[in-house]
Amino acid sequence: MIRCGLDADGLWTLSRGLARARPAYYRHLQEADQPRSDDFDGRGNLSDAALARFCHFFLDRCLEQISFMADLIAPFNLVDRIENYLRFSRVDLEPKMREHLQRLLKALCLEGEIARGAVPQILGLKGTAARVVIRRALDEGLASSPSEKGPLRIAFPHQVLDAWFPQLVTDLPVQE
């Protein structure tokens, strides 16, 4: 799955899904190692039908974990949460800077990665003014870049996690 690009950079984990269904996981794994039941159960020594049931179980766990994380992160509402964060939590910023950061972060959210040269057009600003917005996003930790002239990506600094992902981090009671 990693080689196919389905690991989502650690955004979801299969381990959680398998741990939550440990008895079924071991049962399916053991069944997949059983000899074939008859001439219609594959061509090798092991049961194709049991392997197919294991694969179905495994893929169900993957989909379950992807769905679980998608519900927690709610990616289709992320742009709205970012805009609300800038509008209501960052009243210390000048209104124009807030507006430009909203546009930049929305573009980063939707595109994933943006060349620095594209930022002036996205923001409707000249080169120097766009670089000020880029510098502010980088300084605030709202954007990141692999190098001084590299492309921009959205970043998730700790100070925005509660606002951007309110269901992801919850305070649980500490037992002493």
Q: Is pLDDT above 90 for 15?
A: no
Tell me which amino acid residue 136 is: R
Query: What's the mean pLDDT in 20-27?
Result: 94
Q: Which pLDDT belongs to residue 70?
A: 85
Whole-structure pTM over 0.85, yes or no?
A: no
The CATH code that applies to domain 75-164 is 1.10.10.10
- Residue pLDDT, tens place only, 46-61: 888 899 999 999 999 9
Burial class (CB in 10 A: 0-12, 13-18, 19+), 142: buried
- Residue pLDDT, tens place only, 92-144: 999 999 999 999 999 999 998 999 999 999 999 998 999 999 999 999 999 99
Contact criterion met (CB below 8 Å) for 123 and 104? yes
Q: Is pLDDT above 90 for 174?
A: no
Q: Which pLDDT belongs to residue 36?
A: 84
Instruction: Name the 3-class secondary structure at 159.
Output: helix
Question: Which two structure tokens, joined as six digits, stand for 135?
Answer: 């510098």
Range in 42-51, 55-64, 156-165 the model is least confident about: 42-51
Query: What does the alpha-carbon distance between residue 40 and residue 166 come to, in Å, rounded to a whole number?
Result: 52
Please state the length of the chain: 176
